[in-house]
Structure 1
Amino acid sequence: MTQQIQLSETQTTILAAACSRDDRLVFPVTAKLKGGAVGNVLKSLLKKGLIEEIASKDDATVWRVGEDGTPLTLRATATADAALGIETADDAQLEEAATPAAPRRQREGSKQEALIAMLKRPEGTSIAEITAEFGWQPHTVRGAIAGALKKKLGLEVTSEKIEGRGRIYKIQD
């Protein structure tokens, strides 16, 4: 005898929407929730095994970025079908939808590529050198390093203070 999984109205709404999609993705979430409520509901569904993390094919559906830098999204599982009383989806269809996304590539000649090249130099680079090169404001440089390079691309950017030159940022090859 299987135990019935208790779902709130919000959990049911989110799961039903995901199960009705061909790709079974949870995103976009259609339920109207405020603040961190969506995250809390999704964590609860993950814990119950009703949704699972898979590699994301689309930036619009990213739930979080994995430790290896792979963007992850959420997909309804066969257990979700059972919890909602839906006939089980074909496992082959689920596997087809889960094919991993290609790793992020750098566009040729982009400012991001030039910034990475500056950071990979043996002597590294400073915020002042980057602002002079690109005409950016210092806060934009710090944002690009923290957001685009560290979070999205998963690069390890280190910094150290060097006398006469200030704080120097580097990416080790």
Structure 2
Amino acid sequence: MHQSPALTPAQRDLLIAARQRADRLLTPPSQVRDRARQLMAERLVALGLAERVPVGAEQPAWQGGSSEDLIGLRLTAGGLIAIADISDGEATPDAIGQGQSEPAPAPAEPAAWTKVARLLALLRREDGADLAALAAATGWQSHTVRAALTGLRHKGYVLSRDKRAGDGVSLYRVAPR
């Protein structure tokens, strides 16, 4: 099962900034020393949030001394998913661009008898579900439902939130696979 790791504020900021770039490259923080920067890069790659790629002299480099051996970090689909809940669902694997990275594997489906499966069934309806319906289906309080929605995002589900016309109530949906 795919689950996004908890991000430090520095990691989160790097990933969000990379999402804004056309080339999806992470810019190394200038205030961090070389060894700490390398450890940060290794951690991002190990978590599947970024991948090492050769870069040109004009692009942000995390490793290398001469322009021939510069290595940068590019945001992966896993990195986009990890920040999807921060950016209100704007970051999706499709936003990476063609040929840059493979999409993350689909999240595992919960057992049919679980409350999470009930949530997903409601979220997959065409009109989605509001917080009250999700709470009623599970018997959970609203803050627990919100935590479960965050947990689904961390597992790789892409959720969206829209306002219902008329009363402005938030409707939640899960994107189809």
Shared fold by TM > 0.5? no
Greater helix proportion: 1
Q: Which has the larger radius of gyration?
A: 1
Structure with the greater relative contact order (CA < 8 A, sep ≥ 6): 1 or 2? Answer: 2
TM-score of the pair, normalised by structure 1: 0.44
